[in-house]
Structure 1
């Protein structure tokens, strides 16, 4: 489900931009089925989203869905566009005079969406067909960068770099949470189990003096073997600091 292949791009454009009317008898629409699919993916993972399962959930035949969602590949794109379009709802991005606050809000909103829909972080980027949701999101984000001293191309590159930072650390955070047992809050117990064997395997800790020092400091401070959520916060702060130096020093 995470690979964006097999999409009929012309069909997808029609589905994205021209909402099909709800069937007079079935009551289904592109929007209603897309929302149903997103909710199912959030609860059970994208693998659970099949045409047959959606048809059963909607109380219609599988054939009744195709005019509204195309095939499974097109449906996945509709789902991603739906989520993109809800990134800044209901209040939108803050119209803050301080551009740093606007950039921080972009990062936080995208981080939140990744936590709400963790399967999105596994989606390959490729060349997605722009839909109304993604286009609305892109417009709002570019406006947050507009007027701070970047060229149009720099705005796009900077935004892309920021979203990549958010998605990368969000993906690592989600993977870390998935690796823990349901009752585990940190990695302390896991580390206590493997530390003696790891120490014996490594032998002389002086082989990796910097790594040993840093990992020990991180573990003592956070109780974690790695801390991608902390990396997200630090990364965004460094990103904004670096951007500030570029635009204010120009």
Structure 2
């Protein structure tokens, strides 16, 4: 199904279908983007397409298979920059930015397990494109794969914190600044700055710089620079 190759036993005749696998996947992606993966059900997809719930199973066997198809579809459709002519540092920064944009647009992707990804054309295109960031640097094939995993793991971790921060703000109806303003009077009464001097000093500096407890943008920019610096040491050895 990922590669849209019909099974050998597929019937050659039958009633004309009202929808398609691609339409079912697109509807499922819209639901997950809007309301999260928890809102995704075969019934919800059927309602989105104007089908009966049982009719959706004629296109996709179940929710697990549907999620695999969704993930491969967003991988297939994500924009990919032309990496030729860039330095390796620029290439790494570019693939990191592409994945950050993907996760911002499809937050549910950040929470899916990746140890057994859907082996479809979307994943193949994404993987081939991203490996080019490390091509020609003297790395072994295994090191190229590991370097890519390292970069994507960092991007995913920061993206999840950013997503959680946005959800917390939406659920509480409070911005980070408002949340801190509400918590500050209590903290002033119970927090002992002399007992925790580093926490007091550094926390105040970071809070003042970010106007919040955490800045996903700063964490991304700071962390990506450290990731690239770490890779530079490996690459320079080659």
- TM-score with structure 1 setting the length: 0.84
1:159 to 148, 152, 156: 148
The answer to whether 1:242 aligns with 2:221 is no
Runs of 4+ in 1 over 6 A off after TM superposition: 182-185
Which residue matches 1:42?
Answer: 33
CA contact (8 A) 1:186 1:223 kept: no
Unaligned runs of 5+ in 1: 1-14
C-alpha separation between the residues in 1 aligned to 2:21 and 2:180? 48
Q: Is the 8 A contact 1:110 1:163 kept in 2?
A: yes
Q: Which residue of 1 aligns with 2:2?
A: 16
How many residue pairs are counted as aligned between the two chains?
Answer: 232
Distance 1:185 1:201, change over 3 A: closer
The alpha carbon displacement at 1:183 in A equals 10
The alpha-carbon deviation at position 60 of structure 1 amounts to 2.4
1:126: how far off?
Answer: 3.5
Note the residue ranges of structure 2 that are not aligned, 5 or more in a row. Answer: none
Match of 1:119 in 2: 108
Distance 1:167 1:148 in 2: 25
Match of 1:62 in 2: 53
Distance across 2 between alignment mates of 1:183 and 1:105: 34
Secondary structure of the residue that 1:180 maps to in structure 2? Answer: helix
Q: Which residue of structure 2 lines up, in the alignment, with residue 150 of structure 1?
A: 139
Equivalent residue in structure 2 for 1:211, among 182, 199, 211: 199
Distance 1:67 1:19 in 2: 15
State the match for 2:121 in structure 1: 132
